[in-house]
Amino acid sequence: MNKFSLFVLVIVLMTSACNSSKNAASKKSTTYNPATDTLKLPGEKHFRNVRQLTFGGDNAEAYWSFDSKSLTFQATHEKWGASCDQIFTMPMDGVKGDAKPIQISSGLGKTTCSYFMPGNKTILFASTHGEHSGEGCPHAPRSLDGKYVWAIHQEFDIYVADMNGKIVKQLTNSPGYDAEGTVSPDGKKIVFTSTRSGDLELWTMNIDGSNQRQVTKELGYDGGAFFSPDSKKLIFRASRPKTEVEQKTYKDLLKLGLVQPTALEIFTCNVDGSDMRQITNVGKANWAPYMHPSGKKILFCSNHHSQSGRQFNIFSINIDGSGLEQITFDEAFDSFPMFSPDGKYISFASNRNNGGTRDTNVFVAEWVD
């Protein structure tokens, strides 16, 4: 090999090394050093190279773009000017230092449940900022008569915004709560929760907002739905008040725009509502389900193992209800698991490494089956 050829080869190798270095964050590590994996807790055998992406505030529901390169999430963060939940997006590696992620929502009202649309150039989310609503943060009580409650804001509607935060389309415009929207992996449909029929039910619509159809019809809170990897099934959390007292309590709270999320189980059904099945039957609050890329397991958040009910961890279960396994072992809170579309990573929200505060942050880990 002559000197010129050798020089060219060296340059090619150097360029290749630089490109490999730049792309390393978006690929699974070829080597693993447990000593440096300090955010992984004992027992978390399905996680590797856990990384913290946000620092401070209340950050949650971080969901992947279709190309597995970015995340969209909601945050209440005073330093970012978000006094109640607003929608942000960031690369899967997070942002540098104290930099503020790109804000997608306007900052008016309260937002929730963001999700990338096909093409990764627009983001779906729910907001209370409509023309008949106030611009400030709506009142959101956390308890009523000693009961822990979530607010179901009737002003929520579902919008789509571009990456500069400009609203490009409003997908719902019916009286009542429309929120909790997620997109099917094939990019054809959206599932969401609505009170338009008088109860908190699942609905689907085409990706452009057309053909809105009711999926569930049983009394109780049906929400937090996602599609299966093949886009044929829905997986969601649901309450099923049975006794007259339970049903009255549920209905009375709903009239006040509230729901008590302390008795929830995980269900699946076909996209049209057929083949309804209850997957978990462990008691307490089971929610934030997401299906494993294989379509054979479900990850979800639960406090069923906690005597006080205050400790939430991520569990997995087979789709037939067998094989319950604990995935995370935080002493406080782990939830909102979601696999990247390429199946290599998992995002989740956690109270770990928050210095004893109540901060909830976004984390990403490599997934190990």
Nearest to 87 by CA among 42, 130, 122: 122
Buried b (16+ CB within 10 A) or exposed e, 164-199: ebebeeebbeeebbbbbbbbbbeeebbbbbbbeeeb
How long is the chain? 369
CA distance 182 to 179: 9
pLDDT at residue 9, as a whole number: 40
Instruction: Please give the structure tokens belonging to residue 136.
Output: 């400030």
Sorted by sequence, the CB contacts under 8 Å of residue 357 that are 6+ apart come out as none
- Written as six digits, the tokens of 362 are 């976004």
Beta-bridged to residue 202, according to DSSP, are: 193
Give the pLDDT confidence score for residue 31 in this predicted structure.
81
For the entire predicted model, the pTM comes to: 0.90
pLDDT at 88: 98
pLDDT at 8: 37
Please report which helix (H) or strand (E) contains residue 245, including its range: helix 244-255
What pLDDT, on a 0 to 100 scale, did the predictor assign at position 172? 98
Report yes or no: 138 and 109 within 8 Å, Cβ to Cβ: yes
pLDDT (0 to 100) of residue 29:
52
User: Which tens digits make up the pLDDT trace of 71-83?
Assistant: 999 999 999 999 9
Cβ-based neighbour number of residue 292 at 10 Å: 21
In sequence order, the 6+-apart residues with CB closer than 8 A to the CB of 278 are 265, 266, 267, 321
Contact 97, 119 (CB under 8 A): no
Which amino acid does the sequence have at 31?
Answer: T
272-286 per-position pLDDT tens digit = 999 999 999 999 999
In terms of Cα–Cα distance, which of 319, 316, 243, 226 is closest to 277? 319
Residues of the chain with pLDDT under 50: 1-27
Indicate left, alpha or beta for 14 from its phi (over 0: left) and psi (-120 to 50: alpha). alpha
346, β-bridge pairs:
339, 365
Q: Which two tokens stand for residue 321?
A: 């209800």
* Domains assigned to the chain: 50-367 (2.120.10.30)
Which of 330, 343, 288 minimizes the C-alpha distance to 64? 343
- Burial string for 307-341 (b: 16+ CB within 10 Å, else e) reads eeeebbbbbbbebeeeeeeebbebeebbbbbbbbb
Residue 133 in contact with residue 153, Cβ under 8 Å? no
Rounded distance, CA 122 to CA 116, Å? 6
Q: Give residue 97's pLDDT.
A: 81
